[in-house]
Chains A and B, each alone.
With several copies, the nearest count.
Chain A
Amino acid sequence: MSILINKNSKILVQGITGKEGGFHTRQMIEYGSQIVGGCTPGKGGTTVFDRPVFNTVLEGKNKTGADTSIIFVPAAGAADAVLEAAHAGIKTIVCITEGVPIQDMVPVAAEVKRLGARLIGPNCPGLITPGECKLGIMPAHIFSPGPVGFVSRSGTLTYQAVDELTRNGLGQSTCVGIGGDPVIGTSFLDCVEMFLADPATKALVLIGEIGGGQEEEAARFLEGKDIPCVAMIAGRTAPPGKRMGHAGAIVSGGVGTAQGKVDAFMKAGVPVLDTTQELVAELKKRMATAKV
């Protein structure tokens, strides 16, 4: 078991004919992900790695039965690509693209939610259910199957921590990189809820960052839950943003600081560690105590 994706996920690659899209499609296929086709307007009728290319997601979905998509289109077209997938009936949509304007994502993220689709990202590394399906751009070799559910706002810090997990014999059920943009489709809490409902997930790693209140939200939800769980907050020594006027401080109402996040996790009994080494050591200890 796992969350969001598994070996049966049928994947369309939006932007499959681009440089990054092509590179990572090959890597996903090599991993064993079921890539059933791709979309690039104007390239319909051609093939990439023997997979059919379609002009629109709707056509691709109708002809392949895809239920999942991953987006590599340039930033200016990314929000449109997300909406195209959601309207075509794709249920899980991963948007890798970085640099998507905020005002493009605000209405699109809300509309995707309304349509009942699940968006991961944008500006994220994607997700992976080790041994079954890789839907993203992460280096596959560091992952291994196992009981740890993993959520992170940071791509590269995820790799760092996962590498550490795997080296220590702790495999992962699913690893989700939810993305670092201000407006994203799936939050920390969304993932934590899904993991708690997944029988294969027996422990949790949460990698947060300063800014926003989603770590706090997830922490509150975890109060009283007895799953072994550890967290890390990046940016504890980052200088406060120079350029956000008063509004940033007022809108957050004091939420979003590293200390606030640490406090929220501590209150929920979730230790916050300084380095990935310490993080994994602590998790190992807690899993042993909980006998999972």
Chain B
Amino acid sequence: MIIHEYQGKELMNEVGIPTTKGRVAATPAEAKAIAAEIGKKVAVKAQVHIGGRGKAGGIKLAETPEQAEEAAKAIIGMDIKGLKVNKVLVEECIEIDKEFYLGITLDRDAGTHVIMFSPMGGVDIEEVAVTHPDQIFKCHTHPWLGVQDYEIREMLYKTGLDTKILKQVHMFAKKAFELYRKWDCVLTEINPLAVLKDGRVVAADAKINFDDNATYRHPQLEAMREVAEEDPLERSAKERGLNNYVRLDGEVGIIGNGAGLVMGTLDIVAREGGKPANFLDVGGGANAALVANALGLVLSDPNVKGVLFNIFGGITRGDEVANGIVQGVKQVELKVPLVIRLSGTNEKEGRAILAENGYEVAATMEEAAKKIVALTR
């Protein structure tokens, strides 16, 4: 789960991380009022779950409350890479002296969380990682004890930066890790961590992602979820209990069980010349109702010209899947071709149910992929 910059900054303030001063506005009038309250030049920033908003015109500066109102009017309702902007963050315009980067995420190869710092922060940080890898400093946190002060120091003193600044950065790193742990994050990122001309150090941006497997421990997160601007199909997927749906831009609907198998299916459909419309993993042990839901979801995508079911059952049982398909088709009007591949646990029972209902089952995954690509071309 992801949240907006303004929500991330609220969580940061809660653990004591100073951020740029500001508040969120849903209307131009609110933006004006906040700008008046701040009482100086402000930045009006689109709150949208996608990068590159600056280049898309989603950030505007305003000298006066009236200008802030105008800016908000221009940004709210704007379409940025297919997402509609519903809110803007109005915050003090800052004069940046230096831009650092601070990020925390899991290092899967190390099996623990890693804090990363760079004195060369800002928009081009990924490029810095490639061109100046020696300017990315890492601190692998203790797997049992969590981050220790000495670990942060060992990272920071390698930068050669001034001690006074480092003591401040240390505090940011420690508190950001506290936030990361407390909220079961998979990402906590401050870029830029800005040293201002007036000497303050603040989080000028805030990007926080949560571990979807752990949101049950944080019921407060539900209130922070802003469904209005999510992709309607992805939202619909969640409502149907399908947590592993990603919309893509092709025309072959794909449903399978297991991330690997679904990825493999995407790969083979692509190789045969088709373009997948989505990634949808119904997971292990899917029952008929969920399978029916999955079918309904994929068919509700207007781009879909055909659906490929690829099931190889382990926990998932063939008969449940077959029943789900039959059920799902009954609930919608099936206007596109359906190709089914079904193997594994209770394969015979599943095939029998499908045969009874007049569906054919492809012998292999390759055959199924070829068939659906031919049918949707």
Contacts and interface: CB of A to CB of B under 8 A. Distances in A.
A and B touch in the complex (CB under 8 A): yes
Interface of A: 20, 24, 41-42, 44, 55-59, 75-77, 80-81, 83-84, 87, 98-104, 106-107, 109-111, 125, 136-139, 142, 152-160, 163, 180, 182-183, 207, 209-214, 217, 232, 234-239, 242-251, 253-255, 274-277
Contacts of A210: 263
Contacts of B126: 246, 249-250
B2 A243 contact: yes
B344 interface: yes
Contacts, number: 229
B36 to A, nearest CB: 33
B94 to A, nearest CB: 20
A125 B103 CA distance: 33
Contacts of A110: 111-112, 143-144
A80 B149 contact: yes
A159 B153 contact: no
Interface string B256-269: 11111101101110
21 contacts: A44-B157, A84-B154, A102-B106, A102-B184, A103-B211, A139-B345, A142-B343, A154-B258, A156-B312, A157-B260, A159-B261, A182-B106, A209-B259, A235-B263, A246-B189, A247-B105, A250-B116, A251-B106, A251-B114, A275-B366, A277-B366
Interface of B: 2, 49-50, 101, 103-109, 111-114, 116, 125-126, 129-130, 133, 136, 138, 143-145, 148-150, 153-154, 157, 163, 166-167, 181, 184, 186-187, 189, 191, 207, 209, 211, 213-214, 216-217, 246, 248, 256-261, 263-264, 266-268, 270-271, 276, 279, 283-285, 311-315, 343-345, 347, 364-366
Q: Which 10 A-B pairs have the closest CB atoms?
A: A154-B260, A156-B258, A84-B150, A156-B261, A101-B214, A157-B260, A110-B143, A247-B103, A42-B163, A234-B263
A64 B343 CA distance: 36
Nearest to A207: B260
Contacts of A24: 315
Contacts of A245: 103, 105, 187, 189, 207, 209
A243 B209 contact: yes
B312 A159 contact: yes
A142 B181 contact: no
A84 B155 CA distance: 13
Contact of B315 (A42, A137, A163, A235): A137
Contacts of A139: 313-314, 343-345, 347
Contact of B267 (A155, A235, A243): A235
B146 to A, nearest CB: 9
A189 B113 CA distance: 21
A203 B238 CA distance: 42
Given A42-B167, A83-B150, A103-B211, A248 B105 contact: yes
Contacts of A254: 130
Contacts of B125: 246, 250
A103 B264 contact: no
Nearest to B143: A110
